[in-house]
């Protein structure tokens, strides 16, 4: 394979060979070579013979066909031109079935429609950006769990194979754009051994059927973006799916016919024409690609191409493929240098695609893979300076000359002794300014600290709506949490990824923000009662698109983030922190469970920590006295209990979370953010109604088990509040009596919850009665909803007999069901199943737990990982601050949490977070 071509006999494939009309000769014909198969298009069956004997398949440019009971009736379902094409593709792909659709992503969409909510997908960690985007959508909106693993190690799939759950394994080989190679045959065998029903899917776009046929190596489904090599000219968009299993083919044929994304007759004609020259194009393209890769590697650039001797997957690739392909990538060590190189080329067109007869150049992190969160790109080892080259059929000498001159013009190489030599100061720079900073810290080096924070949601147990009119409300924290991970960037930018709010990712150059409109508040200062409207207007006009161009609710969330960042960041031009903040939540957004307050608390605490405006208590120096077994030198914080975050830190976070709530909601009461930050439960009475107002912590609150059920019905809080006000104006005596009764309920609940002498059984009985009574009054006020009443009826029915009420504004949203301590677990699981069977979402949780949480940044509080010297086996490393007295610290390498945080399944997020180390809570 020195010239990307195997000996002729190894390039013969046991594929159908068109038989001549004349009788067979004395000896059988040799099987046709692939290039012959590509160029030879025969009729699928006798009924497709053209009556005029055309040498090219005609374009049946028609939407419908006349007659009844014929093979074709409607081109969405079948068209003769497309039939010829699909027959031809199946022939060259070692496939029994082939389908052509409108694009490569349309092909993957058809394939992923085989998945069902609750199933699991295993995918590689180096994927085309569009594939990653679709998988993220499936995970976020369709209830599909996605595990990303390093597929260069076949055994990496074993820990995440889940019999009965794993439905699909999605592979690329070589991957785009790092050209990683996976052993398709080995992975397919491992998958089938443990999960027989799982479908192995391979994206074969980089290779095309000419160089690789994954169906021959155990794959179940293969798809290509036929826009690339199969077409070869970038004059059409198409996707191809092939398989050998009749059941899968039947399902996909049904999906294609149902959604109507089959390829049009004219595009089918163009694609069939392109395939005829596939072999000759690929031979030229990959032979030139090897020359380009050899030149770049010789100059000292890190070059990714399976045809190079030092490629780690070369042996595997040669076993499963017939050539090395025409795509390669290389690293310069400097993002700006890469941009200059790309801009200096002439023959290499700047484009996001590949596979064309014309050579193309791109920077994946800026173009094709820009939709992937920079934190995820960095965690997966995708360098921001990476340049991808897609070699065309131009003269090899011209392409090499053009690239050499671009390197020279950009300052990457120089001429010495009549040869190109790489400039020394461009060599061995750190893999520059990946979106996130280097994932390690050593003593004496620049500190790169991550901060991992969390905040709970909240429920109003008693007093909804009545609180607006001066009645006391009882609110408690709920053990569903919002998590925020702030990771340093070294490129002068800030960015935010709101995973649960439209999956919005946005980044800004720090110095391009509208600082002229900002009035930073110095440490110790207090925000005025009113928001800075000038800054809000500047952020809305100059830093973000209009709300209609962003996902719902994400605009106001991004404004809140920028408002806090610009208000809390003080100092000169060089003192504006550059970081990335990822926000994820196990709370349902918009269901009345305080998701906005949890979000506000997370962004407030993260920005305060990044700006060093709040601090975690320092660790005392480690004792040098001999320690007991299991005792790491008596290292401890002064606060070892639940309240390890000092009151001054909690108060500062609460103050700024309230500001963020104002940005989001205009005029919040402050209850939500107070419960979220301080945890437990509190009683709140609005001022101005003759009662003693304020917020009081309910001391001794006992944690209670609740089932939260999200009706998934949106509600209009303002309209509901206005409706109660209108009812009070129309029927003042009736409504005032209801409000007074709800006040009595809140008072009784407060006494019961704070009474340390009240037996648990009596407490639960009292709360059960109060829940039923409170909800009945809310129904009278007109704020319930048929979905909430259905939930109440289901939870109250035999054999459950549980008490349920709405929480929050009502009109949809969430219901809360009190679960006794001794309630049967099997019955509870059945209830959850019943509720989810009618499209309600259930969360079994507790109320009254911890408030704001910050993952301890100290090494002593982290599970150990491996040091650079091979000592101290670490499992969950994270960048810590300096730990006084740790003589081994300079040898420890710390990695970012981003590698998992963005991809861990929501159902596992809480357990994953708790396993990262010791959390400090309010």
Would residue 335 show up in a list of annotated catalytic residues for this protein?
Answer: no
Give the model's pLDDT for residue 886.
40
**Nearest-angstrom CA–CA distance, 721 and 469:** 10
Q: Exactly one of 11, 76, 133, 642 is catalytic; name it.
A: 76
Nearest Cα neighbor of 242 from 260, 211, 267, 219 is 219
What are the tokens at 281? 């194009």
Q: Count Cβ atoms below 10 Å from residue 110 Cβ, excluding itself.
A: 25
Nearest Cα neighbor of 697 from 657, 654, 666 is 654
Confidence bin at 426 (pLDDT 50/70/90): very low
Per-residue pLDDT at 371 exceeds 90: no
Give the model's pLDDT for residue 525.
84
**Nearest-angstrom CA–CA distance, 625 and 628:** 10
What is the percentage of the chain residues whose pLDDT exceeds 70? 84
Would residue 800 show up in a list of annotated catalytic residues for this protein?
Answer: no
**Nearest-angstrom CA–CA distance, 814 and 842:** 9
**Nearest-angstrom CA–CA distance, 582 and 586:** 14
Give the model's pLDDT for residue 532.
92
| Tens digit of each residue's pLDDT (9 = 90 or more) over 794-849 | 999 999 999 999 988 888 889 999 999 899 999 999 999 999 999 999 988 888 88
| Tens digit of each residue's pLDDT (9 = 90 or more) over 544-564 | 988 888 888 899 999 999 999
Pairing of strands 145-149, 814-818: unpaired
What are the tokens at 285? 């393209």
Q: Exactly one of 139, 186, 228, 388 is catalytic; name it.
A: 228
Helix (H) / strand (E) element for 331: namely strand 327-331
Q: Exactly one of 32, 60, 128, 921 is catalytic; name it.
A: 128
**Nearest-angstrom CA–CA distance, 213 and 91:** 11
Confidence bin at 19 (pLDDT 50/70/90): low
Phi-psi bin for 491: left (phi > 0), alpha (psi -120 to 50), beta?
A: alpha
**Nearest-angstrom CA–CA distance, 753 and 701:** 6
Per-residue pLDDT at 415 exceeds 70: yes
Q: Give me the count of residues in the chain.
A: 922
pTM for the whole thing?
0.52
What is the percentage of the chain residues whose pLDDT exceeds 90? 53
Would residue 228 show up in a list of annotated catalytic residues for this protein?
Answer: yes
Average pLDDT, the chain: 84
319 three-class SS: helix
**Nearest-angstrom CA–CA distance, 774 and 62:** 66
Would residue 203 show up in a list of annotated catalytic residues for this protein?
Answer: yes
| Tens digit of each residue's pLDDT (9 = 90 or more) over 166-197 | 999 999 999 988 999 999 999 999 999 999 99
Q: Exactly one of 109, 125, 126, 203 is catalytic; name it.
A: 203
| Tokens 């005609």 belong to residue | 58
| Tens digit of each residue's pLDDT (9 = 90 or more) over 610-643 | 998 998 877 655 443 443 333 333 333 333 344 5
């Amino acid at each position: 394979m020195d010239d990307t071509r195997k000996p002729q006999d190894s390039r013969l494939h046991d594929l159908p060979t068109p038989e001549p009309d004349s009788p067979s000769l004395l000896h059988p014909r040799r099987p046709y070579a692939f290039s012959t198969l590509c160029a030879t298009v025969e009729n699928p069956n006798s009924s497709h013979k053209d009556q005029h004997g055309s040498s090219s398949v005609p374009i049946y440019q028609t939407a419908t066909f006349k007659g009844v009971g014929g093979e074709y009736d409607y081109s969405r379902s079948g068209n003769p031109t497309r039939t010829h094409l699909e027959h031809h593709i199946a022939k060259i792909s070692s496939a029994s079935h082939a389908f052509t659709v409108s694009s490569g992503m349309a092909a993957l969409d058809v394939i992923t429609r085989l998945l069902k909510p609750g199933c699991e997908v295993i995918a590689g960690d180096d994927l085309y950006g569009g594939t990653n985007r679709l998988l993220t959508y499936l995970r976020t909106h369709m209830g599909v769990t996605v595990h990303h693993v390093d597929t260069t190690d076949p055994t990496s799939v074993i820990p995440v194979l889940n019999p009965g759950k794993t439905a699909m394994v999605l592979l690329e080989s070589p991957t785009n754009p790092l050209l990683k190679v996976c052993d398709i045959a080995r992975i397919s065998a491992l998958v089938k051994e443990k999960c027989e029903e799982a479908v192995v899917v391979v994206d074969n776009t980089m290779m095309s059927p000419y160089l690789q046929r994954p169906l021959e190596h155990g794959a179940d489904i293969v798809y290509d973006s036929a826009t690339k090599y199969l077409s070869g000219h970038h004059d059409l968009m198409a996707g191809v799916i092939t398989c050998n299993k009749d059941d899968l083919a039947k399902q996909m044929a049904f999906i294609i016919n149902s959604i109507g994304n089959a390829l049009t007759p004219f595009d089918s004609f163009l694609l069939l024409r392109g395939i005829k020259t596939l072999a000759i194009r690929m031979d030229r393209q990959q032979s030139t690609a090897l020359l380009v890769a050899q030149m770049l590697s010789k100059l000292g650039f890190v070059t990714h191409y399976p045809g190079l001797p030092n490629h780690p997957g070369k042996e595997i690739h040669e076993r499963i493929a017939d050539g090395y392909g025409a795509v390669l990538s290389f690293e310069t060590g400097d993002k700006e240098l890469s941009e200059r190189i790309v801009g200096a080329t002439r023959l290499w067109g700047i484009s996001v695609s590949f596979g064309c007869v014309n050579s193309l150049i791109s920077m994946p992190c800026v173009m094709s893979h820009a939709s992937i969160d920079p934190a995820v790109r960095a965690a997966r080892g995708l360098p921001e300076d990476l340049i991808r080259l897609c070699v065309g059929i131009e003269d090899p000498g011209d392409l090499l000359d053009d690239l050499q001159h671009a390197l020279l013009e950009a300052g990457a190489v120089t001429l010495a002794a009549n040869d190109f030599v790489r400039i020394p100061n461009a060599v061995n720079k750190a893999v520059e300014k990946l979106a996130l900073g280097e994932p390690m810290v050593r003593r004496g080096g620049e500190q790169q600290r991550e901060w991992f924070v969390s905040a709970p949601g909240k429920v109003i147990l008693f007093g909804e709506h009545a609180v607006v009119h001066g009645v006391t409300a009882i609110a408690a924290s709920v053990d569903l949490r919002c998590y925020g991970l702030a990771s340093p960037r070294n490129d002068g930018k800030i960015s935010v990824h709101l995973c649960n709010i439209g999956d919005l990712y946005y980044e800004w150059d720090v110095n391009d923000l509208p600082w002229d409109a900002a009035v930073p508040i110095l440490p110790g200062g207090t925000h005025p009662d009113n928001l800075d409207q000038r800054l809000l207007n500047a952020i809305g006009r100059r830093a973000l698109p209009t709300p209609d161009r962003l996902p719902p609710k994400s605009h106001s969330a991004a404004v809140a983030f920028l408002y806090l960042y610009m208000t809390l960041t003080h100092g000169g031009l060089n003192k504006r922190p550059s970081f990335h903040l990822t926000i994820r939540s196990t709370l349902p957004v918009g269901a009345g469970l305080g998701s906005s307050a949890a979000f506000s608390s997370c962004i407030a605490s993260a920005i305060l920590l990044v700006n060093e405006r709040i601090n975690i208590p320092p660790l005392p120096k480690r004792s040098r006295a001999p320690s007991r077994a299991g005792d790491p030198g008596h290292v401890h914080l002064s606060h070892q209990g639940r309240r390890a975050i000092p009151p001054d830190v909690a108060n500062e976070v609460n103050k700024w979370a309230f500001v963020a709530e104002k940005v989001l909601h205009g005029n919040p009461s402050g209850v939500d953010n107070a419960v979220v930050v301080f945890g437990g439960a509190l009683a709140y009475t609005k001022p101005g109604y003759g009662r003693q107002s304020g917020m009081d912590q309910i001391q001794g609150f006992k944690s209670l088990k609740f089932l939260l059920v999200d009706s998934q019905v949106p509600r209009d809080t303002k309209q509901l509040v206005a409706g109660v006000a209108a009812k009070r104006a129309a029927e003042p005596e009736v409504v005032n009596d209801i409000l007074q009764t709800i006040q009595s309920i809140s008072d009784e609940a407060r006494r019961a919850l704070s009474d340390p002498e009240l037996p648990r059984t009596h407490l639960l009985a009292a709360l059960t009665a109060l829940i039923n009574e409170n909800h009945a009054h809310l129904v009278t006020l007109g704020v319930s909803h048929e979905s909430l009443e259905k939930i109440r009826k289901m939870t109250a029915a035999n054999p459950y007999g549980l008490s349920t009420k709405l929480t929050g504004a009502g009109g949809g949203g969430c219901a809360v069901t009190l679960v006794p301590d001794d309630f049967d677990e099997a019955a509870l699981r059945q209830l959850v199943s019943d509720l989810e069977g009618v499209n309600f979402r259930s969360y079994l949780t507790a109320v009254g737990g911890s408030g704001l949480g910050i993952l301890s940044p100290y090494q002593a509080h982290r599970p150990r990982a491996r040091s650079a010297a091979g000592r101290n086996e670490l499992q969950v490393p994270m960048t810590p601050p300096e730990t006084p007295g740790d003589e081994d610290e300079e040898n420890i390498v710390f990695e970012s949490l981003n590698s998992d945080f963005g991809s861990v399944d929501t159902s596992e997020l809480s357990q994953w977070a708790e396993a990262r180390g010791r959390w400090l809570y309010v």
